[in-house]
Amino acid sequence: MNVLNEDRKQETAARHICYHCGEECREEIIIADGHEFCCNGCFNVYDILKESDLCGYYAVEGATGISPDKAYFNGKYDYLELPEVSGKIIEFTDHQLSRVNWHIPGMHCSSCIWLLEQLYKFNPAVRSSVVNFPEKKVRITFETEKIRLSELAALISRIGYEPYISLNDLGDRQIKKWNRTRLYKIGIAGFCFGNIMMLSFPEYFHLGNTGSDQNLRVTFGFLNLALSIPVLLYCAGDFFKSAWSALKGKYLNIDAPIVLALLSIFGLSLYQILSGTGPGYFDSLTGAVFFMLTGRFFQDKTYDGISFDRDYKSYFPVGVSVLKDGTEARTPITGLAPGDIVLVRNAELIPADAVLLSPEAWIDYSFVSGEAEPVSRKKGDTVYAGGKQTGTAIQLEVLRKVSQSYLTQLWNNDAFSREKEDQNKTLSARINRYFSVIVLIIATVTFLIWYFVKKDPETAFRAFTTCLLVACPCGLLFSSTFTNGNILSLFGINRCYPKNADAVECLSHIDTVVFDKTGTITRSEEADVQFVGKELSEDELVIIRTVAAQSSHPLSRMIVGNLGHIQLSKRSLGNYAEVSGAGIEVLWGKQEIRLGSAAWVGAPSENSNDLSFSRVYVSMDQVVLGYFAIRVQYRDNLPEAISALQKCGFKTFLLSGDKPADQPFLSGVFGNEAMLHFNRKPDEKLEFIKTLQNRENRNVLMIGDGLNDAGALRQSNVGMAVSDDTGNFSPSCDMIMEGRQLSRLPAFIRLARSGQKIIKASFAVSVIYNILGLFFAIGGKLSPVLAAILMPVSLITIVAFTTAASNLAASRIFRD
C-alpha cells in the first residue's frame, strides 16, 4: 500500500491564507517575502505591485486581491488592435491621447478603486484612470503612441482585473445619456413646478380679486401656461411614448391613465386661461409630472441596485481565433464570414454554425437545449452556434454568419426553465392589462355622475383626473419584484445564487428535498485517498494528476487535491474523452491513459464486500496499475441540517448513482433505509423525481452537483447545484450554492417563505391604499397635486416596507 496523503494532512492542519486573494491555499503554496500565496497568479500580482511600489494596497482596509484569470494567454487581446474593434471601444481619441471606459466585473472593494486609480505607476503612458464604482467601470486616458490598446488590456488583466469587453459597449453610452436626460427632465419639471406655484400664490390666498390687479392675473395665467408647456412636451414625453406604444399593441398600460389625466388637466386649464374663466391647474399638472418622474427615478435606482446582473452576453468569446494560412489571428465575432476556419478551445463557445474539420469533438449544447451531456460529433458533421466544446481544441469551418443577437436570444430563451416561471409572470401581466381599464371605467363613471347627475362640472373634472392619478398599480406590480430582488441579493450575500426571482418563489413552496450523494453531501476537496497497487513513480503521478485535472468529476477532483504536492504538466493532451459513469481516456504522447471504473480500464471487477469506499482505476497502455481507494468525507453539520429539515416537515431522500456505501451512517441521518436510493442512473433519478411530483403531488427540491443529475435538476421544481467553486455553472439548475453553505439550507428555505409572506403583506397594503385613494378621489375631495404626490409616496412605502421587512427576516434567520 502506497500512502500518499501523510504530508497533505499536515498541510491542512494549519490553514494557509493567501496574502493576495485571501482564499485558503489548497494546492501548492508559494512562499515569498514571508507571505504565502495560493497560486502563481496571485504571487505575480504581488510581485508587480511590489515592483511598482504599491504594497500599500494591502494596507487598505478589507483589501483582498483577485486571483488573475487563469484562461489568459498571450495575444488574447490582439483583436483589440483591429480598427473596426478599436473604433467601437475607444471613447475618444485625438491620435495622441485616447480614452476607453471599460467594465471591470471583478471590482469589489475600496482597495480596488485605489489600485485601479494608480495605473499610471505601472505604465507612465497611462495618463489617468478614474473609477466609477457603482457601474464597475474605469475610464482610462492613455498615450496612443506609447501603449497599445491590447497592452493596456493585458496590463489590467495582469493585476487581476480582467476587463469585460463587449462590442455592445456602444449601447452603454446610450444608457448614460438616458440617465442624464432623466435628470434634466426632473430638473426642468421641478423648476417649472416651483415657479408656477410661486405665480399661483395670489390664487391660493384669494388675492387679486380687485379690478386693478386683473392685468397681473392675466399675466400670471399666461406665464404659467408658458412654463407648463416644456413640462408637458419634454418632461412628460416618456409617458406619452410608452402609452402610445402600448396602445399600438392594442392594450392599455399603466401610463395610459396618466397620459389621459395630464391631457385633461392641460385641456381644462388651457380653456380656463383663454376664456378668462379661471386660473387653471398648471401647478397640479407640473407637480404631478415632477413627483412621478422623481418616483420613477427612485424606483429604477432601487431596481438597478438589487437586480441580479447575470448578463448572458458575458459567455461570449467576443474575439474568435481564425486560422489563416496556418497562423492564428483574432477576429471579432461580427467579422466572421462563411468559409473562415475558426479554432475553438476547450470550454469555448462555438460562435457560428459550422462544419467540423477536426476528427472528433464533444459538444455540450446545455446552453441551447438544457441537455448537459456532451454529444459526439465526427469530422464533416455540422455543429451549431451556442454549443460548448469539451476536450481539446477543434477546428471548424464557418457555414453561416450568426448575429450576436441570435446567440443572446438563445440564452435568454431558456426553453428548459420557462414552464416553471409561467404562473408569476401572468399575474403581473394580468394586473397590468386590466388595472388601467378598470381605473378608466371608474374615472369615467365618476365624471359622468358629477357632471350630469350632480351638475358640478368643476368637481367632475377634478374627480376624473385625481382618479386617474391616484390609482397606482406600482405596489401591486412591484411588491414581488422588489421583495424577491432583495431576497435574491440576501441569498447572494450568503453564497447561494438563485438564477432569478422565480427560483426563490418556487423554493418557498418546497416540501420535499432530494439529495445527491457524491459531490453534494460529501466534500469534494477533502477525502481520504489511498492508492492500492504498484508503487507509482514521480512521472506517473504527474501524468495521473494532469489527466485527472481535466475532469470536473468529484472523484477526479479528489485525486487532484490529494496529489497536491505533484506539479501539473503543461503539455497538451490528445484525444481527451470523458464518458459519464465510466471514466476518462486521454493520449499522453503515445501512451493511452485511462482513469475510471474497473470495466472502463479493463480490470477484473472485484466483488468485494467492502463498500465503504469508491475505487478509481488507473491504466496506462492497457496495463492496470491499481486503483485509488477514495473514502468520502461528509460535510460538516450534515446530520443537523437534515434533521432540522425533517423537523420542519420536509421529506428528505438520498438519490445516489453509487453503490450503497456508508448505509448505516446515512440511514441514521435520513431516518430510515426507505429514504435511501442507491445505484440510480441519471434517467432513473429523473423518473424518481417525476414519480414524487405526479403520484404524491410534491414540490421537490433536488440538490445535486449538476454533473450526472442534470435531468433530475431540470425535472425538479427547484434544482440546486452545489459547487465548491462557483465557476462551475450548469444551466439546467435554478440555483447554485456554495458547498459549505449546505448546512444552512433550512435557513434559506425559511427566508424564501418569509419573502412570500412579505409579498402578500405589501400586496394587501397596496390594495388598501388604492381603495382609500379612489374613495377620496371619487368623492372629489382630493386635489390633483396631492394625488400626484401620493402616487410616488405609495411606491416608496412599498419599496421601503419590502426592503426593511426582508432584511429584518434575513438577519433573524441567519443570526445563528
Partner 1 sequence: MSAFYVMIITSLFIAVAFLSAFIWSVRKGHYDDDYTPSIRILLDEPVSEKSTRKDK
Closer by beta carbon to partner 1, 54 or else 147: 54
**Cβ-Cβ contacts under 8 Å for 781 (sequence gap 6 or more):** none
List beta partners, residue 738. Answer: 723
Closer by beta carbon to partner 1, 122 or else 416: 122
Closer by beta carbon to partner 1, 207 or else 274: 207
- Binding residues for partner 1, rule CB under 8 A, total 32
Cβ distance 447 to 264 under 8 Å? no
* Rounded CA Rg of the chain: 32
Among the listed residues 128, 179, 409, 691, the single contact to partner 1 using CB under 8 A: 179
How far apart CA 808 and CA 816 sit, in angstroms, is: 14
Q: Does 54 bind partner 1 (CB under 8 A)?
A: yes
Among the listed residues 34, 62, 134, 171, the single contact to partner 1 using CB under 8 A: 134
For 665, other C-beta atoms within 10 Å of its C-beta total 13
Closer by beta carbon to partner 1, 110 or else 691: 110
Q: How far is the CB of 227 from partner 1 (least distance, A)?
A: 9
Q: How far is the CB of 194 from partner 1 (least distance, A)?
A: 7
Sheet holding 583-588, edge to edge: 522-533, 623-634, 614-620, 591-596, 583-588, 574-579
120 CB-contact burial (10 Å; exposed 0-12 / middle 13-18 / buried 19+): middle
How far apart CA 764 and CA 770 sit, in angstroms, is: 10
Closer by beta carbon to partner 1, 49 or else 735: 49
814 — phi, psi (to 5°)?
Answer: -90, 5
Among the listed residues 105, 194, 278, 671, the single contact to partner 1 using CB under 8 A: 194
Name the amino acid, one letter, at 100: V
Cβ distance 483 to 761 under 8 Å? no
Cβ distance 117 to 159 under 8 Å? no
Q: Does 199 bind partner 1 (CB under 8 A)?
A: yes
Q: Does 191 bind partner 1 (CB under 8 A)?
A: yes
Closer by beta carbon to partner 1, 133 or else 729: 133
How far apart CA 564 and CA 28 sit, in angstroms, is: 6
Q: Does 135 bind partner 1 (CB under 8 A)?
A: yes
Closer by beta carbon to partner 1, 216 or else 337: 216
How far apart CA 245 and CA 389 sit, in angstroms, is: 42
Q: How far is the CB of 642 from partner 1 (least distance, A)?
A: 42
Closer by beta carbon to partner 1, 214 or else 409: 214
Closer by beta carbon to partner 1, 133 or else 411: 133
Q: How far is the CB of 212 from partner 1 (least distance, A)?
A: 7
In 664-772, which ranges are E strands?
Answer: 676-677, 700-704, 718-723, 735-738
Closest CA to 730 of 371, 346, 348, 413: 371
Among the listed residues 56, 267, 276, 492, the single contact to partner 1 using CB under 8 A: 56
Cβ distance 523 to 635 under 8 Å? yes
Among the listed residues 72, 184, 222, 452, the single contact to partner 1 using CB under 8 A: 184
Q: Which stretch binds partner 1 (CB under 8 A): 27-35, 188-196, 521-529, 716-724?
A: 188-196
Closer by beta carbon to partner 1, 135 or else 143: 135
Q: Does 235 bind partner 1 (CB under 8 A)?
A: no
Q: Does 84 bind partner 1 (CB under 8 A)?
A: no
CA angle 199, 269, 257 (to 5 degrees): 115
Q: Which stretch binds partner 1 (CB under 8 A): 157-165, 215-223, 350-358, 686-694?
A: 215-223
Cβ distance 475 to 769 under 8 Å? yes
What is the length of the chain? Answer: 816
Which residues ranging from 268 to 307 are in contact with partner 1 (CB under 8 A)?
Answer: none
Q: How far is the CB of 56 from partner 1 (least distance, A)?
A: 5
Q: How far is the CB of 123 from partner 1 (least distance, A)?
A: 16
Interaction mask 93-132, partner 1, x per CB under 8 A: -----------------x--xx--xx--x---------xx
Footprint on this chain of partner 1 (rule: CB under 8 A): 53-54, 56, 60, 110, 113-114, 117-118, 121, 131-135, 176, 179-180, 183-184, 187-188, 191, 194-195, 198-199, 212-213, 216, 219, 223
